[in-house]
Amino acid sequence: MGQSLNPVVTGLRSSAIRDLLAVTRRPGMLSLAGGLPAADTFPAERIGQAVHRALEADPTAVLQYGPTEGYPPLREWIAGYEAARSGRPVDAGQVVVTAGSQQALDLLVRTLAAPGDLVVVEEPAYLGALQAVRAAGAVPVPVPVDSGGLDVDLLARRLAAGLRPAAVYTVTTFHNPSGVVLAPARRRRLAELAERHGFVVIEDDPYAELRFEGDPLPPVRSWSDRVATLGSFSKTLAPGLRVGWVVLPEALAGPVVRLKQAADLQTGSLGQAVVAELVADADWWQAHLRGLRVAYAARAVALHEALTRAFGGRLAVGVPRGGMFAWGRFVDGTDTASLMPVALDRGVAFVPGSEFFVGAPDRATLRLSFATLPPDGLREAVGRLLVAHDEVSSGWSRGSREASSSARCTPSVPAS
Ligand SMILES: Cc1ncc(COP(=O)(O)O)c(C=O)c1O
């Protein structure tokens, strides 16, 4: 149209997972791809009652414009929750309720990083974080994740060698995509590095409550005020509510709120009031969380057992202890980007691991979500994946598929 556009925006790639969503909506497709919560866990009836109650109790409060920072009773609840789990005081003034934690991530990156600044991300990385960093014109600097989470020792060496990031982004608990948990000693060390080198840790923790066993770990914020902790009701209530939050270091609250004013004035009041009403019913809320953990644990076991039975030693995959994802690596040389179009033809979707890399990808990796399908569906999906894998490894119809598959299956799904 003859109008020059912002090159930062025109250079943005669509999220591979968002694009895959379109494919996974095809009839008969079984999806292990998106991090879509199990629809049968949505407390639809209870949400309906909460909507009625909120409208009856104070229609003006939930239908009128509200404060940018968020619905006061919900901010208070979040402050109490975050204070309890971190063992550090949180003032409700540090809490901003956002349109999902994705918005918190976007606002924070734009607050902390000017175009050209460096933001450390994990490798493999949450795609939504890569999008937020790139949309801000900042540069993602990958630091690998191992079985104990972000390699904080390596980060320390890079910092000692002169790396000066504006922020370090990490998914601390049941990482997306790798499923790992940042070890307690690394949490503490990361907080110390933030203090010493003067960066802010963006601690993204939407899966903290989806722990199948053992005690919750203290967040990184337990050891430093240079941490912004992100949370979300997407994985525990329903993502369509679009209610998440951030607990900010005090100095960041003003700038983040002003940026949110420019973005959307406020998060929807009715959704916030509904969430506030649900979490205030502590017995119901805790029972709901217990139900989620039981449901997801059963799915995680079903997926892991099916994968082990189907692929044996050809696929290295850990047992998920929480969250929504299993991360696998084929040890037989399978390239998962080549496997995907064949898998889609066989009616099963997953995300090739290469999508999550900033640097040279490990092409043998893949992310499998156990959240969306019930156990029977997961077993059927793994059966289809095995058929696709065997076709690819025997070289069956490789050439003939390429044209049709590339047109239909080019991945680009929402960031989740
Ligand atoms: C690590 C991580 N952060 C943030 C989000 C965004 O969640 P929401 O904006 O729905 O709270 C997701 C969603 O999948 C995620 O996996």
Mutate to test the pocket of ligand 1, among 15, 122, 204, 275 (most ligand atoms within 8 A of CB): 204
Q: For the beta carbon of residue 156, count every other beta carbon within 10 angstroms.
A: 17
Question: Measuring CA to CA, which residue among 185, 216, 181 is closest to residue 81?
Answer: 216
Question: Measuring CA to CA, which residue among 118, 334, 368, 369 is closest to residue 235?
Answer: 369
Q: Using one digit for the tens of pLDDT, what is the confidence trace for 336-367?
A: 999 999 999 999 999 999 999 999 999 999 99
Q: Is the Cβ atom of 372 under 6 angstroms away from ligand 1? A: no
- The DSSP element (H or E) to which 98 belongs, if any, is strand 95-98
Q: Is the Cβ atom of 234 under 6 angstroms away from ligand 1? A: yes
How far is it, in rounded angstroms, from Cα 13 to Cα 221? 32
pTM over 0.85: yes
Q: Is 6 exposed, middle or buried (0-12, 13-18, 19+ CB in 10 A)?
A: exposed
Contact 304, 320 (CB under 8 A): yes
Which residue CA neighbors atom 5 of ligand 1 most closely? 102
Q: Is the Cβ atom of 345 under 6 angstroms away from ligand 1? A: no
Q: Would you write out the chain's pLDDT as a tens digit for each of its 416 residues?
A: 678 888 888 887 777 677 777 777 888 999 999 889 999 999 999 999 999 999 999 999 899 999 999 999 999 999 999 999 999 999 999 999 999 999 999 999 999 999 999 999 999 999 999 999 999 999 999 999 999 999 999 999 999 999 999 999 999 999 999 999 999 999 999 999 999 999 999 999 999 999 999 999 999 999 999 999 999 999 999 999 999 999 999 999 999 999 999 999 999 999 999 999 999 999 999 999 999 999 999 999 999 999 999 999 999 999 999 999 999 999 999 999 999 999 999 999 999 999 999 999 999 999 999 999 999 999 999 999 999 999 998 875 444 444 444 433 333 444 56
Q: Is the Cβ atom of 124 under 6 angstroms away from ligand 1? A: no
Which residue CA neighbors atom 8 of ligand 1 most closely? 100
Strands 30-31 and 149-150: unpaired
Contact 298, 290 (CB under 8 A): no
Ligand 1 atom with the smallest distance to the CA of 324 is 16
Q: Is 334 exposed, middle or buried (0-12, 13-18, 19+ CB in 10 A)?
A: buried
Q: How far is the CA of 206 from the centre of ligand 1 (A)?
A: 6
How far is it, in rounded angstroms, from Cα 200 to Cα 120? 10
What residues are paired with 412 via a beta bridge? Answer: 16
DSSP letter string, 148-181: TEE-HHHHHHHHHTT---SEEEEE-SS-TTT---
